[in-house]
Structure 1
Amino acid sequence: MSYDALLWLSFGGPEGPEDVRPFLENVTRGRGVPPERLDEVEQHYQHFGGVSPINALNRAAIAAVEDLIDLPVYFGNRNWHPMVEDTLAEMKAAGVRRALVFPTSAYGGYSACRQYDEDILRARAAVPDAPDLVKLRQFFDHPLFIESFADAVRSAAAEFAEYRLVFTAHSVPMSADQAAGPPAEGGHRYSRQVAEASRLVARSVGVDDYDVVWQSRSGPPQVPWLEPDIVDHVDALHAKGVANVVVCPIGFVSDHLEVVWDLDTEARDRALEHGMGFARAGTPNDDPRFARLVAELVAEHVGGAPTRKLSAFPASGCTVNGAPCAPLCCEPAKRPAR
């Protein structure tokens, strides 16, 4: 089957101080996040001049991918410009009839996978006679993804004779994680995929004992989220006498604001308060292997290339025009009745 383009679909981020508040309002719309929480997060962005690294990193990765595939690559976001609806209209005007979609998340789960399906549905509804969109699969266990993180861990750990390896990913409500499919199809579940990717990276670097923790929760305190939090875990490691910690942001493909604030600022500062050594592994986005990974995912569809993966979990996440890949896959959590 032929394709005319690749749509690079991402989360989006502000690119100036005046963008921050409207961006955060887009992110949290309909979620009941109190204004004081937005005030707090806004200050995190303003600490970096109101600019998230994510858009620039995406543009650099897109340029690298364009050198490897024979398709034009278009850039669209969920929460900030370029908005995916505008990008899809641009694609239609250029004559694109059928396009692949690369979502910048490696995992399953509602926020990491199904919400990108909703982005596709929303964008196509906004553009009459929109191109058909085929979303590429999840890639948390792709060899190039694992190799990139493994080398990043080795580089970060080089300064320490001994260290504790800690993997971290964005926390989600426990109810959302448990809604991600029946137990027989546990590969769809976000937390299990994060644990599997962590296991694969740890095995590659020769580490048998490590931790998987979480970060960046934003919901009300009465709602249980995946724990422990990375900063709390740094405290716990200090209490156990751990001298050095290497943190691998396994849940992120690039240096989102959550990486440069929650890890490079908050977690690092807490470790330094305890007199601990701290190093953070890099993310794959600026690694040439990341562009090759995307090209391989494209080749699976365009050229029938074999699926490369290191786990026995299902190769899920592939959708056509936003239709879910499997029953119950990556469903949102059911809100309690009021």
Structure 2
Amino acid sequence: MSDQPPSAPYDALLLLSFGGPEGPDDVVPFLENVTRGRGIPRERLKEVGQHYFLFGGVSPINEQNRALLAALRADFAANGLELPVYWGNRNWAPYLTDTLREMAAAGHRRVLTLATSAYASYSGCRQYRENLADALAALAGEGLPVPRVDKLRHYFNHPGFIEPMVDATVTALSELPEEVRPKARLAFTTHSIPTAAADTSGPAEGHGDGGAYVAQHLDVVRTIAAAVRERTGVDHPWDLVYQSRSGAPHIPWLEPDICDHLEEVHRAGAAGVVMVPIGFVSDHMEVRYDLDTEATAKAAELGLPVARAGTVGADPRFAAAVRELVLERAATERGERPVRCALGALGPSHDLCPVGCCPARTPRPAAAGADSPYA
């Protein structure tokens, strides 16, 4: 019998997230990091940052990542998986490069990455891979050992992601007035992205209208809606809608926007709506502001009852799913054929992003893929 640990050849897990400000003085510097290279004036960033200032300049995302980090460590320890877990952000402390520098100094040479984005797209996958390549290049430039970094497959249809969302949807339905519940609509929400980015999401052979981004979300919607029907005995009508658009007005983005959608279904006589944020791992700012503040205010203006389902966050089932994904990928790297859990019609995603997957407008090196310069 082998004396290798079950996570071999990997010796660490990196939780990689977006990051967010943790006080009023952080807001504009954080937004400067997010928009670097776009030439947006500082005064404009102050305007954009108003929704952060409404919450004291603190994004909930970092605290939620701390909770997820703790949940992962607890789950690993409880199941005998001796794999250290680190955390790094793209746009705020703890910064990705600093974390990888710490990991390299600790002797880690094979690192698995969990990105807090479940779906295929440039901004949700390849941009994280580009940031990894930038950080690894910085380590190489400093003469430090450069670990090999791989990325866990997309987990949008893993039971540990889907099942907490089913529970959250049923709970949110129960929060609507009793007379409204049987006729309530489900509005599954995710981050809007440019239609051009959606069309080229996923492997090149699947590029087309909406690409993998829309297809994956629709698969999740159908899976959750079917489970809710089984749990409640009610076949709730559903829609896939979008939120958090941030681009120039002349560039087409995925629609309809959640607020426009609420107006539309209200005109059509909807009794109530449950907003289900399937595009987000945790209740960070784009959920707290765009849904809990803006969309909820729009519903109140319309006199339309709404409730909002929670996100997966640090749910123990999600932490267990991450452990399963780690062990699955490790076994695959060892040449084994592990069971690959997935619900819905699409099946498990690829382990290695192929060349041409979710391309950038301007090509840049990206780690953890078939085209990685750090294989």
The TM-score normalised by the length of structure 2 is 0.83
Aligned 8 A contact 2:168 2:311 in 1: yes
Instruction: Give the SS at the match of 1:284.
Output: coil
Aligned 8 A contact 1:175 1:333 in 2: no
Aligned 8 A contact 1:167 1:249 in 2: yes
The equivalent of 2:295 in structure 1 is 267
The equivalent of 2:94 in structure 1 is 82
Aligned 8 A contact 2:157 2:343 in 1: yes
Aligned 8 A contact 1:150 1:204 in 2: yes
Task: Note if 1:158 corresponds to 2:179.
Answer: no
Task: Note if 1:107 corresponds to 2:135.
Answer: no
1:57 is matched with which residue: 64, 71, 74? 64
Task: Note if 1:293 corresponds to 2:321.
Answer: yes
State the Cα deviation string for residues 114-154 of structure 1 (Å, max 9, x = none).
11111110111011322111111001111121111010000
Task: Note if 1:192 corresponds to 2:215.
Answer: yes
Instruction: Give the SS at the match of 2:289.
Output: helix
Name which of structure 1's ranges 160-169 and 215-224 shifts more when overlaid on structure 2.
Answer: 160-169
The equivalent of 2:280 in structure 1 is 252
> How far 1:327 moved relative to its partner?
2.7
Aligned 8 A contact 1:244 1:278 in 2: yes
Name which of structure 1's ranges 10-19 and 178-187 shifts more when overlaid on structure 2.
Answer: 178-187
Runs of 5+ unmatched residues, structure 1: 320-324
Task: Note if 1:176 corresponds to 2:197.
Answer: yes
Query: Aligned Cα RMSD in Å?
Result: 2.0
State the Cα deviation string for residues 137-181 of structure 1 (Å, max 9, x = none).
001111121111010000000133231100010000011111224
Residue 77 of structure 1 aligns to which amino acid in structure 2?
N
Name the % identity: 53
Q: How many residues align?
A: 330
The equivalent of 2:343 in structure 1 is 310
Aligned 8 A contact 2:108 2:147 in 1: yes
The equivalent of 2:232 in structure 1 is none
State the Cα deviation string for residues 246-292 of structure 1 (Å, max 9, x = none).
00001000012000000000000110111111100000013111111
The equivalent of 1:143 in structure 2 is 159
The equivalent of 1:9 in structure 2 is 16
CA distance in 2, matches of 1:34, 1:239: 39
CA gap of 1:331–1:314, structure 2 versus 1, over 3 A, is farther
2:304 is matched with which residue: 276, 296, 313? 276
> How far 1:32 moved relative to its partner?
5.3
> How far 1:22 moved relative to its partner?
0.9
CA gap of 1:150–1:71, structure 2 versus 1, over 3 A, is same
Residue 267 of structure 1 aligns to which amino acid in structure 2?
A
The TM-score normalised by the length of structure 1 is 0.92
CA distance in 2, matches of 1:179, 1:96: 34
CA gap of 1:74–1:253, structure 2 versus 1, over 3 A, is same
CA distance in 1, matches of 2:297, 2:153: 37
The equivalent of 1:130 in structure 2 is 146
Residue 195 of structure 2 aligns to which amino acid in structure 1?
M
Name which of structure 1's ranges 27-36 and 171-180 shifts more when overlaid on structure 2.
Answer: 27-36
Instruction: Give the SS at the match of 1:169.
Output: strand
Aligned 8 A contact 1:13 1:79 in 2: yes
Residue 171 of structure 2 aligns to which amino acid in structure 1?
S
CA distance in 1, matches of 2:206, 2:220: 19
| Structure with bigger gyration radius | 2
> How far 1:318 moved relative to its partner?
3.2
State the Cα deviation string for residues 281-337 of structure 1 (Å, max 9, x = none).
000013111111111111112345421011343643534xxxxx21321112479xx
The equivalent of 1:322 in structure 2 is none
Instruction: Give the SS at the match of 2:175.
Output: coil
> How far 1:209 moved relative to its partner?
2.3
CA distance in 2, matches of 1:316, 1:36: 42
